[in-house]
Amino acid sequence: MTDSDAVESTNPLDRQRELMNPLSHETRHQIIQVMLGHPAHLPSTAEFDYFLPDTTPTDIGAQLDRLREAEILDEYTSETEHDTDVPHAFYGPTEYGIEVLGEFNYLRGVPIARAVIQQTKTTETIDQYMAAPRPSLPADVRDALRLKDNEENR
């Protein structure tokens, strides 16, 4: 048992703070909202840049890296033949990320995040990017997000 295991087992508030830290930054929070609202839950960096116009691409990249380090999101690469007109790298939740997002009730916001993305006026280029072929998310992640998407249609 490590020192951090001892802290986790004796103080659940420390564990919660540790889990919440990657989500508490404003840009990371917005990135999560875009990812949850994206029809495939796998936006590209160009889509993040479009839906987060007040954030620089450099900051988006740095915060995506931070979410990847925290194992909340991962980069998923399309296995289809790479068309230079559409992205081939996308960011979506990991199985661990779904657990954390569920624990902090982010998943309850999927229908609202989806509505925001659907109601946002997009350019022809972003429409093309959003229609790009994407890889599959892990089955557990897909299932967790599918349940939230289905709740929207009730």
Q: Which of 3-12, 48-57, 113-122 has the weakest average pLDDT?
A: 3-12
Q: Is 80 helix (H, G, I), strand (E, B) or coil?
A: coil
Residue 8 lies in a domain: yes
Q: Is residue 75 pLDDT above 90, yes or no? A: yes
pLDDT at res. 8: 47
pLDDT at res. 22: 80
Q: How many domains does the chain have?
A: 1
Q: Is residue 148 pLDDT above 60, yes or no? A: no
Residue 37 lies in a domain: yes
Q: What is the mean pLDDT of residues 85-90?
A: 88
Residue 151 lies in a domain: no
Instruction: Supply the angle between the helices 57-69 and 26-37 in degrees, to the nearest 10.
Output: 80
Instruction: Tell me the average pLDDT of the chain.
Output: 86
Residue 50 lies in a domain: yes
Residue 27 lies in a domain: yes
With vertex at residue 136, the alpha carbon angle to CA 124 and CA 128, rounded to the nearest 5 degrees, is 5
d(CA 146, CA 88): 23
Q: What is the mean pLDDT of residues 55-60?
A: 96
Residue 113 lies in a domain: yes
The rounded radius of gyration (Å) of the Cα atoms in the chain is 16
Domain of 37? Answer: 3-145
| Two structure tokens written together for 3 | 């020192």
Q: What is the pLDDT of residues 14-28, one digit of tens each?
A: 766 676 778 888 999
Quick one: what percent of the chain has pLDDT higher than 90? 68
> CATH no. for residue 38?
1.10.10.10
Residue 154 lies in a domain: no
| Two structure tokens written together for 74 | 């991962």
Please check whether residue 88 is in contact with residue 78, taking contact to mean a CB–CB distance below 8 angstroms.
yes
Residue 153 lies in a domain: no
